[in-house]
């Protein structure tokens, strides 16, 4: 994207559930020296609003897409908040390292807007969208080596079936994987158009979901290429380890696998960690999170009409109510390394 002095960022990017997110994040930043982290900065629509709503706070914005980071930095500077903003080029599961490198032990808000940014969706040459024919790239960070084309060329049928079934919840995962392996023996799959046509040929007409039948396969490839679910499962415990008491974790998810991971993580701190019926709850087993959204907040019809990309959003938020007990510090430290709970459900 070429930026000019007259670039209208609001036209390029409409932040999803912006008022809800500001209402959840800003109260935690109402003190001198408060620090927020936007782990998925994108084009900084949310972050610009957070800085406007919390004039005493500063914000660290993390993004692995260098182009998005540059545009976001310019947007925040134009809004007059450059002196309270620190851009960081990194993946969001580097949260702990990002804070440690800056000598920050704890923050007051951690925000995550998962999935693709508007920039990635709209830049047709990066192959994220099945609506445009483009090279099968799908890297959020163009400097990483693995691309979607590499996955389709090198993964065996069993591995392809797994990612289509697990990450795309695709009913015809096995058949699509078999067709890919068969067709690539003659010629590699190199474009989004080729993949779309292949899926279209495999999925029976009577069993097609609403919209393009390749949607789930593209989602699965994007998650695999960028390691999105593993990164999420490692980042959530890092956020809990670095939240001040009264700090808030606010997450927007866009498909069921992300939302399930967030819900499962938050549930660990929302209830007493004791067997049912125990007459006295030990102090270190008391809940350490408070549910701020009471389930997932969804976009209403008016927001979906304004911004169709909000149709699948699920917003969840929780507040840290007391210091993490030592055993939870140990557990979350382990999970930050392995992302184990994201797969095991513990």
**Is residue 246 included in any domain, yes or no?**
yes
Give the integer Cα–Cα distance in Å for 170 and 217: 7
Q: Which residues have CB under 8 Å from 218's CB, separation 6+?
A: 128, 129, 130, 138, 192, 195
Q: Are residues 213 and 234 in the same domain?
A: no
Q: Are residues 23 and 154 in the same domain?
A: no
- Tokens coding 119: 């920039």
More confident residue, 7 or 310: 310
**Alpha-carbon torsion 30, 36, 40, 42, what sign?**
positive
**Residue list, annotated binding site:** 44-46, 63, 92, 113, 120
Q: Looking at residue 126, what is its pLDDT?
A: 55
Choose the final residue of a domain: 191, 207, 226. Answer: 226
**Is-contact 40 21, C-beta < 8 A?**
no
Q: Is the pLDDT of residue 338 over 90?
A: no
**Is residue 345 included in any domain, yes or no?**
no
Q: Are residues 108 and 233 in the same domain?
A: yes
Ranges 12-21, 111-120, 137-146, 201-210: which has the least confidence: 111-120
What domain range is 157 assigned to? 126-226
pTM: 0.87
Q: What is the CATH number of the domain that holds 209?
A: 1.10.150.170
**Residue list, annotated binding site for S-adenosyl-L-methionine:** 44-46, 63, 92, 113, 120
Name the residue with tokens 């545009």.
71
Kindly state the helix (H) or strand (E) to which residue 62 belongs, with its residue range. Answer: strand 58-63
Confidence class for position 123, pLDDT limits 50, 70, 90: low
**Is residue 164 included in any domain, yes or no?**
yes
Q: Are residues 20 and 114 in the same domain?
A: yes
Highest mean pLDDT: which range of 5-14, 29-38, 209-218: 29-38
Q: Are residues 205 and 280 in the same domain?
A: no
Predicted confidence (pLDDT) per residue in 101-117, tens digit = 999 999 999 999 997 65
Q: Are residues 191 and 66 in the same domain?
A: no
Q: What is the CATH number of the domain that holds 84?
A: 3.40.50.150
User: What is the chain's length?
Assistant: 346
Q: Are residues 133 and 212 in the same domain?
A: yes
Confidence class for position 320, pLDDT limits 50, 70, 90: very high
**Is-contact 52 85, C-beta < 8 A?**
no
- Of 45, 41, 37, 52, nearest to 9 by C-alpha is 45
Instruction: Look at strands 314-320 and 289-291 and give their pairing.
Output: antiparallel
Q: Are residues 221 and 242 in the same domain?
A: no
Burial of 9 (0-12, 13-18, 19+ CB in 10 A): buried
Q: Are residues 45 and 71 in the same domain?
A: yes
Q: Which residues have CB under 8 Å from 214's CB, separation 6+?
A: 130, 195, 196, 199, 200
Predicted confidence (pLDDT) per residue in 280-294, tens digit = 777 777 899 999 999
Ranges 155-169, 249-263, 281-295, 297-311: which has the least confidence: 281-295
Please compute the mean of the pLDDT values over residues 4-19 and round it to a whole number.
68
Instruction: Strands of 121-227 (E only): list them.
Output: none
Q: Is the pLDDT of residue 141 over 50?
A: yes
**Is residue 344 included in any domain, yes or no?**
no
For every residue of 30-52, DSSP letters joined together read -STT-EEEETT-TT-HHHHHHHH
Q: Are residues 77 and 158 in the same domain?
A: no
Q: Are residues 240 and 104 in the same domain?
A: yes
Choose the final residue of a domain: 226, 249, 279. Answer: 226
Q: What is the count of structural domains for the chain?
A: 2
Q: Are residues 18 and 78 in the same domain?
A: yes
What's the whole-number average pLDDT of the chain? 89
Q: Looking at residue 130, what is its pLDDT?
A: 64
Choose the final residue of a domain: 181, 201, 226. Answer: 226
Q: Is the pLDDT of residue 2 over 50?
A: no
């Amino acid at each position: 994207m070429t930026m000019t002095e007259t670039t209208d960022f609001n036209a390029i990017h409409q932040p999803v559930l912006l008022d809800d997110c500001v209402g959840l994040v800003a109260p935690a930043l109402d003190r001198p020296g408060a620090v927020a982290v936007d782990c998925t900065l994108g084009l900084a629509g949310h972050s610009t609003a957070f800085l406007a709503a919390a004039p005493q706070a500063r914000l660290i914005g993390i993004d692995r897409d260098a182009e998005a980071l540059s545009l976001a930095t310019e947007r925040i500077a134009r809004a007059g908040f450059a002196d309270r903003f620190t851009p960081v080029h990194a993946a969001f599961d580097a949260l702990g390292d990002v804070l440690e490198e800056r000598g920050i032990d704890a923050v007051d808000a951690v925000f995550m807007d998962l999935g693709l940014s508007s920039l990635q969706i709209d830049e047709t040459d990066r192959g994220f969208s099945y609506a445009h024919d483009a090279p099968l790239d799908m890297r959020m960070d163009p400097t990483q080596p693995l691309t979607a084309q590499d996955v389709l060329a090198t993964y065996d049928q069993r591995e392809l079936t797994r990612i289509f079934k697990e990450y795309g919840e695709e009913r015809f995962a096995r058949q699509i994987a078999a067709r890919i392996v068969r067709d690539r023996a003659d010629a590699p799959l190199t474009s989004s158009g080729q993949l779309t046509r292949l899926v279209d040929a495999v999925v029976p007409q009577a069993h097609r979901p609403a919209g393009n039948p390749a949607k789930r396969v593209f989602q699965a490839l994007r998650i695999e290429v960028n390691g999105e679910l593993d990164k999420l499962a490692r980042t959530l415990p890092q956020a809990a380890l670095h939240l001040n008491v009264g700090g808030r974790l606010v997450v927007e998810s866009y498909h069921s696998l992300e939302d399930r991971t967030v819900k499962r993580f938050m549930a660990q701190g929302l209830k007493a960690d004791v067997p049912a019926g125990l007459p006295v709850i030990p102090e270190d087993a008391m809940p350490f999170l408070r549910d701020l959204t009471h389930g997932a907040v969804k976009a209403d019809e008016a927001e979906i009409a304004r911004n169709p990309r909000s149709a699948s959003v699920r917003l969840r938020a929780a507040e840290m109510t007391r210091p993490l007990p030592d055993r939870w510090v140990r557990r979350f430290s382990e999970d930050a390394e392995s992302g184990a709970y994201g797969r095991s459900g513990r």
